[in-house]
C-alpha cells in the first residue's frame, strides 16, 4: 500500500494510532406534552408528510377511527412544503384546536428522520401529544434520531415497507394489523402513545472521542479499524502519530482547529472534526501532505460523501485551478478512473472523513442506500481539463478567479447517459434523448471530452458555455402530465409548486399535454475532462452542491 518510506512500521511492532472519529453533538433532553386520559371528543390531526403515498395509509387510519372510535373527530392535512422543512403554521393550527396528532409516514432514509423530528417538535415545543408512524426498515434510524432529538421514547408505530403503490386493502391490513417492531396492534401503539404518559429522556450523550485509538501490533490495529467500521473495508494506511504529523505539514492550519460538521442526513445530529481528524483520515486513504488542502476544503463543505439517502446517491468531485498541476492530478486520459494517486487518494479521503467525521456510516442505521453505489468508494474525483476546453472552466462559471484553486462537489450520480460525439443530422434529437434518460429530479452535468466539447461548437455554434446550457434547458422538455406524475417529482417538487415557488407554480398550471422545461439553466453544468483518445462523453445526473476555495487551506 502507498506509504512514506521514511515512516515505516513493522507488523510485529506495537504502534500508536490516532482515532479517526469526529466529535459527537451535545444532546439536550426534552419533555413530552401531557397526555389526555382519553381521546373521546378529541380531534386527531392526521398529518401527511407528502412522501410516497403517505396520505393513502393515513386514510386507512381515518377509517379505523370511524369504525373503532367514532367519538373521535379526524382531520386530514398535508405539510405546507417538502417534508424536510419545519411547518410552524401547521403546528400552530393543531395546537390552537386543542388536538392531538399522528404524523406519517416515515418510510425513507430522509423522511423518517424528518417525521421523527417533526413529531418531537410538535410534542415538546408546541405541547401537542403526537405519535409518528414509520415503516419497519427504519426502526434503527428512528431510534437514533429520537435519541439525538432529546426524546428517546418519542411515541411511534411501525407498519410494513413499502407503502408506495399498495392498494387500499393492503394498507388497511397494515393499519388493522400488528406493529412490525413490537408485535402489538398498530393502533394500540398509536392510541397509547397519545393517551399514556411518555417517559422523559435522560441525558444520554455519546461517548467522548479520544485522540488515541489504541497501541497494538499492526495486524491487531487493522482488525480494530474494521471492527469499529472506521474503514471502507479496503486496506488502509494506519494513522500513526508520526504519519499524521507528516500529513499536517501540508497545511498551515492548527491541528485543533474545527474544520466543519457533517451528518448523514438532516436531523441525524451534526458531528464536528478538527484539522488533525481530517489528516488522520487522509493518512488512512493513502494521501500525501500536498493533497491535504484539497481534502480539507472538501471536509469543510458540510456535504457528506456518505449520505444516508435510500436513493443510493454518490458524490462527484471536480478540482480546478493551479493546484491540479501542483499535486499531479489527472484531467486527461482515464481521469475518472484509476491510475492516479492524487485523484484516487483525495476521493477516498473525502469518503473516509465523511464516514468517520459524521460519527459513522452503518448499513441499516446511518447508511440506507437501497442498492448502494460503487461510486462511493472514490467519489469520482478528477481535475477539469481546462487547457483543452474551449470554454471557461467550472470554477470561473461559479464566480471564482481563474487563478484560484477550488474543488466543486456534485451529488447524485445515480443516472448516466453515454454517447460518442455528435452526428451531423440528428445530434439535437440524440442529446434530447439523453436528457430525458436522466432522472428528472437531478439536473444533468455534461462530462465532455475536449473533442466533443469542440463538436458542440461546430454543430451548434455554442461559442459560449452559457449558450449551450441555455439550449440544454430549452431542449429538455416533457409533457406536463407525465412530468408531474413521476414519484420523485411528487415527493420533492410538487409540494414546492403548491406552495407558490416559481417557476414551478406556473408549470403546475400547464395542460397535461403541454411541453414544459424539466430543469432551469442555472442548475445545468458542463465540465470538460478527458484525453482526446476519442469523442466519448457522458451526461451525469448530478446536482452541484458547492464550490470551495482550496487556497485558504494551504
pLDDT for 412 equals 95
C-alpha distances out from residue 256 to 165, 278, 423, 537, Å: 50, 11, 56, 43
Q: Is the pLDDT of residue 3 over 60?
A: no
CA dist 95 and 116 (Å) reads 18
For residue 444, give every residue at least 6 positions away whose Cβ sits within 8 Å of its Cβ, in sequence order, or none: 435, 438, 472, 476, 519, 524, 525, 539, 540, 541, 542
Least-confidence region, from 322-326, 351-355, 414-418: 414-418
Q: Which residues lie closer than 8 Å to 445 by C-beta, 6 or more apart?
A: 316, 410, 524, 525, 526, 527, 539, 540, 541, 542, 544
**428 pLDDT band (50/70/90 cuts)?**
very high
DSSP conformation letters of 89-144: HHHHHHHHTT-EEEEEEE-STTHHHHHHHHHHHHHHTS---EEEEEEGGGHHHHHH
pLDDT higher for 2 or 399? Answer: 399
Q: Place 524 in a pLDDT band, splitting at 50, 70 and 90.
A: very high
Q: How do residues 208-225 score in pLDDT, each as one tens digit? A: 999 999 999 999 999 999
Min mean pLDDT across 111-115, 301-305, 362-366, 434-438 is at: 362-366
Rounded-to-integer distance, Cα 432 and Cα 455, Å: 16
Residue 12: per-residue pLDDT: 62
Q: Could you report the per-residue pLDDT of 181-195, keeping only the tens digit for each?
A: 999 999 999 999 999
State how far the Cα of 542 lies from the Cα of 445, in Å rounded to an integer: 6
Tens of pLDDT, residues 450-466? 999 999 999 999 999 99
CA distances to 150, 443, 448, 475, 543 from 472, in Å: 47, 10, 14, 5, 15
CATH class of the 43-195 domain in this structure? alpha beta
Domain coordinates in residue numbering, the chain: 43-195, 212-416+545-553, 478-517
Q: Are 213 and 19 in contact (CB under 8 A)?
A: yes
CA angle 79, 83, 86 (to 5 degrees): 75
Q: Please give the model's pTM, rounded to 2 decimal places.
A: 0.92
Helix, strand, coil tally for the chain in percent (to 5): 35, 20, 45
246 burial type by CB count under 10 A (0-12 exposed, 13-18 middle, 19+ buried): middle
pLDDT range class, residue 203, cuts 50, 70, 90? low
Angle, CA 488 vertex, CA 232 and CA 503 arms, to 5° = 120
What's the mean per-residue pLDDT of the chain? 94
Q: Give dist(CA 313, CA 105) in Å, integer.
A: 22
Report the pLDDT value the prediction gives residue 200, as an integer from 0 to 100: 75
Amino acid at each position: 500500500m502507498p506509504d512514506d518510506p521514511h515512516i515505516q512500521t513493522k507488523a510485529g511492532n506495537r504502534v500508536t494510532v490516532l482515532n479517526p472519529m469526529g466529535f459527537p453533538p451535545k444532546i439536550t433532553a426534552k419533555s413530552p406534552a401531557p397526555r389526555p386520559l382519553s381521546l373521546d371528543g378529541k380531534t386527531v390531526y392526521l398529518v401527511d408528510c407528502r412522501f410516497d403515498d403517505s396520505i393513502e395509509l393515513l386514510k386507512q387510519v381515518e377509517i379505523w377511527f370511524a369504525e373503532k372510535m367514532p367519538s373521535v373527530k379526524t382531520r386530514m392535512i398535508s405539510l405546507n412544503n417538502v417534508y424536510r422543512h419545519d411547518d410552524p403554521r401547521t403546528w400552530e393550527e393543531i395546537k390552537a384546536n386543542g388536538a392531538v396528532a399522528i404524523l406519517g409516514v416515515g418510510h425513507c432514509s430522509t423522511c423518517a428522520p424528518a417525521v421523527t423530528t417533526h413529531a418531537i417538535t410538535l410534542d415538546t415545543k408546541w405541547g401537542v401529544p403526537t405519535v409518528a408512524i414509520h415503516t419497519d426498515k427504519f426502526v434503527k434510524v428512528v431510534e437514533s434520531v429520537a435519541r439525538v432529538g432529546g426524546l428517546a421514547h418519542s411515541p411511534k408505530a411501525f407498519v410494513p415497507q413499502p407503502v408506495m403503490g399498495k392498494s387500499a386493502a393492503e394498507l388497511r391490513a397494515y393499519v388493522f394489523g400488528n406493529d412490525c417492531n413490537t408485535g402489538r396492534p398498530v393502533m394500540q401503539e398509536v392510541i397509547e402513545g397519545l393517551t399514556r404518559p411518555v417517559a422523559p429522556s435522560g441525558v444520554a450523550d455519546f461517548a467522548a472521542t479520544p485522540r488515541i485509538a489504541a497501541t497494538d501490533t499492526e495486524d491487531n490495529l487493522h482488525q480494530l479499524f474494521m471492527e469499529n467500521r472506521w474503514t471502507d473495508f479496503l486496506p488502509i494506511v494506519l494513522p500513526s502519530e508520526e504519519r499524521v504529523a507528516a500529513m499536517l505539514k501540508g497545511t498551515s492550519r492548527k491541528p485543533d482547529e474545527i474544520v466543519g460538521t457533517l451528518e448523514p442526513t438532516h436531523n441525524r445530529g451534526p458531528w464536528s472534526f478538527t484539522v488533525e481528524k481530517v489528516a488522520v483520515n487522509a493518512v488512512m486513504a493513502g494521501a500525501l501532505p500536498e493533497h491535504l488542502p484539497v481534502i480539507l476544503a472538501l471536509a469543510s463543505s458540510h456535504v457528506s460523501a456518505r449520505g444516508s439517502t435510500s436513493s443510493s446517491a454518490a458524490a462527484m468531485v471536480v478540482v480546478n485551478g493551479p493546484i491540479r498541476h501542483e499535486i499531479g492530478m489527472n484531467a486527461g486520459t482515464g481521469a475518472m478512473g484509476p491510475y492516479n494517486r492524487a485523484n484516487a487518494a483525495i476521493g477516498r479521503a473525502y469518503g473516509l472523513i465523511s464516514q468517520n467525521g459524521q460519527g459513522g456510516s452503518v448499513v441499516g442505521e446511518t447508511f440506507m442506500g437501497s442498492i448502494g453505489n460503487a461510486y462511493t468508494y472514490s467519489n469520482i474525483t478528477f481535475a477539469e481539463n481546462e487547457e483543452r476546453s474551449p470554454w471557461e472552466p467550472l470554477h470561473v462559471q461559479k464566480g471564482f478567479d481563474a487563478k484560484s484553486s477550488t474543488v466543486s462537489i456534485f451529488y447524485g450520480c445515480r443516472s448516466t447517459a453515454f454517447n460518442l460525439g455528435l452526428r451531423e443530422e440528428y445530434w439535437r434529437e440524440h442529446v434530447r434523448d439523453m436528457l430525458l434518460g436522466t432522472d428528472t429530479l437531478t439536473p444533468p452535468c455534461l462530462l465532455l471530452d475536449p473533442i466533443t466539447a469542440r463538436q458542440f461548437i461546430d454543430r451548434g455554434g455554442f461559442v459560449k458555455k452559457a449558450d449551450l446550457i441555455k439550449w440544454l434547458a430549452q431542449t429538455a422538455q416533457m409533457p406536463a402530465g407525465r412530468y408531474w406524475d413521476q414519484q420523485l417529482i411528487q415527493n420533492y417538487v410538487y409540494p414546492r409548486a403548491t406552495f407558490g415557488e416559481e417557476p414551478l407554480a406556473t408549470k403546475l398550471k400547464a395542460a397535461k399535454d403541454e411541453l414544459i422545461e424539466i430543469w432551469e439553466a442555472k442548475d445545468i453544468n458542463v465540465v470538460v475532462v478527458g484525453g482526446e483518445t476519442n469523442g466519448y462523453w457522458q451526461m451525469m445526473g448530478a446536482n452541484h452542491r458547492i464550490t470551495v476555495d482550496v487556497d485558504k487551506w494551504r
